Amino acid sequence: MKTQLTQAVAGLFAVIALALASCEKDEVKATLKPDSTPTLTASTNTVVLKPGTSKNTAVAFNWTPISSFSWGDVEHPYNPTVTYSLELAKQGTNFASPVAVDAGVGPATNVTVGVLNTALNNLGVTPETATPIEVRLKALYAANTAVYSPTVPLTATSFVCRPPSADVWTIIGPAAVDWDTDVQLTYDCDLQAYTITRAFKADNFKFRLNKGWTVNYGSNAGRDATGSAPLTLDGGNISIPSAGTYTVILDLNKKTYTLTQ
Protein backbone atom coordinates (compact mmCIF):
# COMPACT_ATOMS: atom_id res chain seq x y z
CA MET A 1 0.00 0.00 0.00
CA LYS A 2 2.78 2.42 0.90
CA THR A 3 4.52 1.76 -2.41
CA GLN A 4 1.30 2.41 -4.36
CA LEU A 5 0.71 5.68 -2.46
CA THR A 6 4.27 6.85 -3.13
CA GLN A 7 3.92 6.06 -6.82
CA ALA A 8 0.61 7.92 -6.97
CA VAL A 9 2.09 11.05 -5.33
CA ALA A 10 5.10 10.92 -7.64
CA GLY A 11 2.79 10.65 -10.62
CA LEU A 12 0.79 13.65 -9.46
CA PHE A 13 3.94 15.80 -9.14
CA ALA A 14 5.01 14.69 -12.60
CA VAL A 15 1.69 15.83 -14.08
CA ILE A 16 1.97 19.23 -12.30
CA ALA A 17 5.55 19.72 -13.50
CA LEU A 18 4.53 18.83 -17.06
CA ALA A 19 1.66 21.32 -16.89
CA LEU A 20 3.93 24.11 -15.63
CA ALA A 21 6.46 23.39 -18.31
CA SER A 22 3.72 23.52 -20.91
CA CYS A 23 2.57 26.88 -19.53
CA GLU A 24 6.11 28.25 -19.73
CA LYS A 25 6.42 27.11 -23.31
CA ASP A 26 3.05 28.59 -24.19
CA GLU A 27 3.92 31.96 -22.51
CA VAL A 28 4.30 34.73 -25.07
CA LYS A 29 6.34 37.81 -24.20
CA ALA A 30 5.18 41.20 -25.45
CA THR A 31 7.64 43.12 -27.60
CA LEU A 32 8.02 46.87 -27.93
CA LYS A 33 10.18 48.98 -30.20
CA PRO A 34 10.08 52.62 -31.33
CA ASP A 35 9.01 53.37 -34.89
CA SER A 36 11.85 55.86 -35.36
CA THR A 37 15.31 56.77 -34.11
CA PRO A 38 15.66 60.30 -32.74
CA THR A 39 17.97 62.75 -34.45
CA LEU A 40 19.97 65.44 -32.67
CA THR A 41 21.18 68.89 -33.72
CA ALA A 42 23.24 71.51 -31.85
CA SER A 43 23.25 75.28 -32.20
CA THR A 44 27.05 75.27 -32.38
CA ASN A 45 29.87 72.79 -32.72
CA THR A 46 32.47 74.92 -30.94
CA VAL A 47 32.07 76.45 -27.50
CA VAL A 48 34.50 78.25 -25.19
CA LEU A 49 33.18 78.47 -21.65
CA LYS A 50 34.08 81.45 -19.48
CA PRO A 51 33.79 82.10 -15.73
CA GLY A 52 31.03 84.42 -14.65
CA THR A 53 28.55 83.19 -17.29
CA SER A 54 27.27 79.97 -15.70
CA LYS A 55 23.59 80.79 -16.23
CA ASN A 56 24.04 81.64 -19.92
CA THR A 57 23.16 79.12 -22.62
CA ALA A 58 26.23 77.33 -23.94
CA VAL A 59 24.58 75.06 -26.52
CA ALA A 60 20.95 74.65 -27.58
CA PHE A 61 20.06 71.08 -28.55
CA ASN A 62 17.02 70.04 -30.56
CA TRP A 63 15.82 66.58 -31.52
CA THR A 64 12.99 64.68 -33.14
CA PRO A 65 11.18 62.82 -30.38
CA ILE A 66 9.87 59.28 -30.62
CA SER A 67 6.15 59.64 -31.34
CA SER A 68 4.96 56.05 -31.75
CA PHE A 69 5.84 52.44 -31.00
CA SER A 70 5.24 49.05 -32.52
CA TRP A 71 3.90 46.36 -30.20
CA GLY A 72 3.95 42.63 -30.62
CA ASP A 73 1.77 40.09 -28.83
CA VAL A 74 -0.06 42.57 -26.63
CA GLU A 75 -3.80 43.11 -26.38
CA HIS A 76 -3.83 46.79 -25.41
CA PRO A 77 -0.81 48.66 -26.86
CA TYR A 78 0.07 52.14 -25.63
CA ASN A 79 2.84 54.71 -26.01
CA PRO A 80 5.09 54.67 -22.93
CA THR A 81 6.65 57.82 -21.50
CA VAL A 82 10.03 58.60 -23.05
CA THR A 83 12.69 60.47 -21.09
CA TYR A 84 15.73 61.97 -22.75
CA SER A 85 19.26 62.70 -21.67
CA LEU A 86 22.39 63.89 -23.42
CA GLU A 87 25.50 61.75 -23.17
CA LEU A 88 28.94 63.32 -23.56
CA ALA A 89 32.10 61.36 -24.23
CA LYS A 90 35.61 62.07 -25.39
CA GLN A 91 35.99 61.60 -29.11
CA GLY A 92 37.04 58.10 -30.10
CA THR A 93 36.05 56.38 -26.84
CA ASN A 94 32.81 54.89 -28.23
CA PHE A 95 30.97 56.26 -25.19
CA ALA A 96 32.72 53.79 -22.89
CA SER A 97 32.38 56.17 -19.91
CA PRO A 98 29.88 58.87 -20.84
CA VAL A 99 28.68 61.74 -18.65
CA ALA A 100 24.92 62.31 -18.73
CA VAL A 101 23.03 65.61 -18.75
CA ASP A 102 19.27 65.48 -18.13
CA ALA A 103 17.23 66.75 -21.06
CA GLY A 104 13.67 66.24 -19.79
CA VAL A 105 10.94 65.12 -22.20
CA GLY A 106 12.02 67.25 -25.15
CA PRO A 107 12.12 68.09 -27.94
CA ALA A 108 14.69 70.72 -27.00
CA THR A 109 16.92 71.81 -24.15
CA ASN A 110 19.34 74.65 -23.51
CA VAL A 111 22.46 73.47 -21.73
CA THR A 112 23.91 76.26 -19.63
CA VAL A 113 27.58 77.14 -19.28
CA GLY A 114 27.57 75.92 -15.67
CA VAL A 115 25.98 72.55 -16.48
CA LEU A 116 28.22 71.93 -19.48
CA ASN A 117 31.35 72.99 -17.62
CA THR A 118 30.56 70.59 -14.77
CA ALA A 119 29.94 67.77 -17.25
CA LEU A 120 33.23 68.45 -19.05
CA ASN A 121 35.18 68.52 -15.80
CA ASN A 122 33.51 65.24 -14.74
CA LEU A 123 34.51 63.84 -18.12
CA GLY A 124 38.13 64.59 -17.29
CA VAL A 125 38.93 67.07 -20.05
CA THR A 126 41.87 69.41 -19.55
CA PRO A 127 40.54 72.87 -18.55
CA GLU A 128 41.22 75.80 -20.87
CA THR A 129 42.11 73.38 -23.67
CA ALA A 130 39.92 72.86 -26.75
CA THR A 131 38.84 69.21 -26.56
CA PRO A 132 36.89 67.28 -29.23
CA ILE A 133 33.97 65.41 -27.69
CA GLU A 134 30.87 63.67 -28.98
CA VAL A 135 27.28 64.15 -27.88
CA ARG A 136 24.38 61.79 -28.43
CA LEU A 137 20.77 61.68 -27.30
CA LYS A 138 19.63 58.75 -25.17
CA ALA A 139 15.89 58.02 -25.35
CA LEU A 140 14.79 55.77 -22.50
CA TYR A 141 11.34 54.26 -23.04
CA ALA A 142 11.33 51.20 -20.79
CA ALA A 143 13.34 49.89 -17.88
CA ASN A 144 16.96 49.68 -19.07
CA THR A 145 15.80 49.92 -22.70
CA ALA A 146 17.09 52.84 -24.74
CA VAL A 147 17.69 53.98 -28.27
CA TYR A 148 20.40 56.48 -29.25
CA SER A 149 20.63 59.23 -31.83
CA PRO A 150 23.57 59.65 -34.18
CA THR A 151 26.40 61.58 -32.52
CA VAL A 152 27.02 65.30 -32.83
CA PRO A 153 30.62 66.59 -32.68
CA LEU A 154 31.47 69.37 -30.23
CA THR A 155 34.79 71.04 -29.55
CA ALA A 156 34.56 72.43 -26.04
CA THR A 157 36.86 74.43 -23.78
CA SER A 158 36.08 74.22 -20.07
CA PHE A 159 37.38 76.29 -17.18
CA VAL A 160 38.22 75.93 -13.51
CA CYS A 161 36.93 78.56 -11.14
CA ARG A 162 39.93 80.48 -9.81
CA PRO A 163 40.16 83.77 -7.94
CA PRO A 164 42.01 86.54 -9.75
CA SER A 165 44.99 86.18 -7.40
CA ALA A 166 46.35 84.02 -4.62
CA ASP A 167 45.32 86.62 -2.04
CA VAL A 168 43.10 85.57 0.85
CA TRP A 169 40.23 87.81 1.90
CA THR A 170 38.59 87.40 5.27
CA ILE A 171 36.09 89.00 7.60
CA ILE A 172 37.14 89.71 11.15
CA GLY A 173 35.33 91.09 14.19
CA PRO A 174 32.92 90.06 16.97
CA ALA A 175 30.01 89.91 14.52
CA ALA A 176 31.68 86.75 13.19
CA VAL A 177 33.98 85.54 16.01
CA ASP A 178 36.27 88.22 17.46
CA TRP A 179 38.99 90.70 16.45
CA ASP A 180 41.65 87.97 16.58
CA THR A 181 39.97 85.36 14.35
CA ASP A 182 39.73 85.58 10.56
CA VAL A 183 36.88 83.86 8.69
CA GLN A 184 37.88 83.22 5.08
CA LEU A 185 35.68 84.21 2.15
CA THR A 186 35.19 82.03 -0.96
CA TYR A 187 35.58 83.33 -4.49
CA ASP A 188 32.42 82.98 -6.61
CA CYS A 189 33.08 82.83 -10.36
CA ASP A 190 29.53 83.85 -11.30
CA LEU A 191 29.55 86.87 -9.01
CA GLN A 192 33.25 87.55 -9.64
CA ALA A 193 33.37 88.42 -5.98
CA TYR A 194 34.17 86.91 -2.59
CA THR A 195 31.30 85.63 -0.48
CA ILE A 196 30.24 83.74 2.63
CA THR A 197 26.94 82.66 4.21
CA ARG A 198 26.97 82.07 7.94
CA ALA A 199 25.49 82.99 11.30
CA PHE A 200 26.40 86.47 12.56
CA LYS A 201 25.92 88.19 15.90
CA ALA A 202 24.59 91.70 16.28
CA ASP A 203 28.00 93.37 16.27
CA ASN A 204 30.76 94.72 13.97
CA PHE A 205 33.19 93.35 11.40
CA LYS A 206 35.60 94.43 8.66
CA PHE A 207 37.24 92.89 5.58
CA ARG A 208 41.00 92.45 5.43
CA LEU A 209 43.63 91.07 3.06
CA ASN A 210 45.87 88.12 3.89
CA LYS A 211 44.94 88.25 7.60
CA GLY A 212 46.67 91.56 8.15
CA TRP A 213 45.67 95.18 8.70
CA THR A 214 47.84 96.72 5.97
CA VAL A 215 44.89 96.50 3.55
CA ASN A 216 41.47 96.47 5.16
CA TYR A 217 38.04 97.69 4.15
CA GLY A 218 35.19 99.07 6.18
CA SER A 219 32.46 101.49 5.21
CA ASN A 220 31.60 105.03 6.14
CA ALA A 221 28.14 104.87 4.55
CA GLY A 222 25.01 104.36 6.59
CA ARG A 223 22.84 101.51 5.33
CA ASP A 224 20.19 98.98 6.34
CA ALA A 225 20.67 95.26 6.89
CA THR A 226 19.82 94.25 3.34
CA GLY A 227 21.55 96.00 0.48
CA SER A 228 24.87 97.26 -0.79
CA ALA A 229 27.20 100.02 0.30
CA PRO A 230 30.54 101.38 -0.87
CA LEU A 231 33.75 100.10 0.68
CA THR A 232 36.24 102.51 2.25
CA LEU A 233 39.92 101.68 2.70
CA ASP A 234 40.60 101.80 6.45
CA GLY A 235 36.92 102.74 6.84
CA GLY A 236 34.65 102.35 9.80
CA ASN A 237 33.36 99.08 11.17
CA ILE A 238 30.44 97.44 9.38
CA SER A 239 27.52 96.73 11.68
CA ILE A 240 25.24 93.70 11.76
CA PRO A 241 21.97 95.12 13.16
CA SER A 242 20.51 91.84 14.48
CA ALA A 243 21.69 88.28 14.95
CA GLY A 244 20.92 85.86 12.13
CA THR A 245 22.21 84.11 9.02
CA TYR A 246 23.57 86.51 6.42
CA THR A 247 25.21 86.30 3.01
CA VAL A 248 28.10 88.73 2.69
CA ILE A 249 29.55 89.61 -0.72
CA LEU A 250 32.81 91.51 -1.15
CA ASP A 251 33.01 92.94 -4.66
CA LEU A 252 36.49 94.34 -5.19
CA ASN A 253 35.74 95.30 -8.80
CA LYS A 254 32.93 97.64 -7.78
CA LYS A 255 34.45 98.40 -4.36
CA THR A 256 31.18 97.53 -2.66
CA TYR A 257 29.89 94.99 -0.19
CA THR A 258 26.43 93.46 0.08
CA LEU A 259 24.76 92.14 3.20
CA THR A 260 21.63 90.02 2.78
CA GLN A 261 19.73 88.17 5.48
Strand-strand pairing, 108-112 and 57-63? antiparallel
Domain stops at, among 128, 157, 186: 157
Instruction: List Cβ neighbours of 63 (8 Å cut-off, separation of 6 or more).
Output: 38, 39, 40, 41, 84, 106, 107, 108, 137, 149
Q: What is the mean pLDDT of residues 38-60?
A: 95
Q: By the 8 A CB rule, do 211 and 168 touch?
A: yes
Instruction: List Cβ neighbours of 160 (8 Å cut-off, separation of 6 or more).
Output: 121, 127, 128
In the prediction, which pLDDT does 208 show? 97
Q: Is residue 163 part of a domain?
A: no
pTM: 0.69
pLDDT in tens, 209-251: 999 999 999 998 765 556 789 999 999 999 998 999 999 999 9
Q: Are residues 144 and 193 in the same domain?
A: no
Q: How confident is the model at residue 77 (pLDDT cuts 50, 70, 90)?
A: low
d(CA 252, CA 214): 16
Q: Is residue 9 part of a domain?
A: no
Domain stops at, among 127, 157, 187: 157
Instruction: List Cβ neighbours of 2 (8 Å cut-off, separation of 6 or more).
Output: none
Question: With helix as H, strand as E and coil as C, how does 123-161 read?
Answer: HCCCCCCCEEEEEEEEEEEECCEEEECCCEEEEEECCCC
For position 241, which CATH number holds?
A: 2.60.40.3620
Lowest mean pLDDT among 63-77, 108-122, 157-171: 63-77
Q: Is residue 8 part of a domain?
A: no
Q: Is residue 26 part of a domain?
A: no
Q: What is the mean pLDDT of residues 84-106?
A: 93
**Domain span holding position 229:** 169-260
Q: Is residue 101 part of a domain?
A: yes
Q: Is residue 243 part of a domain?
A: yes
Q: How confident is the model at residue 33 (pLDDT cuts 50, 70, 90)?
A: confident
Q: Is residue 49 part of a domain?
A: yes
pLDDT in tens, 114-159: 999 999 999 999 999 999 999 999 998 877 788 999 999 999 999 9
Q: Is residue 78 part of a domain?
A: yes
| AA identity, residue 144 | N
Domain stops at, among 129, 157, 185: 157
For position 78, which CATH number holds?
A: 2.60.40.10
Q: Are residues 116 and 203 in the same domain?
A: no
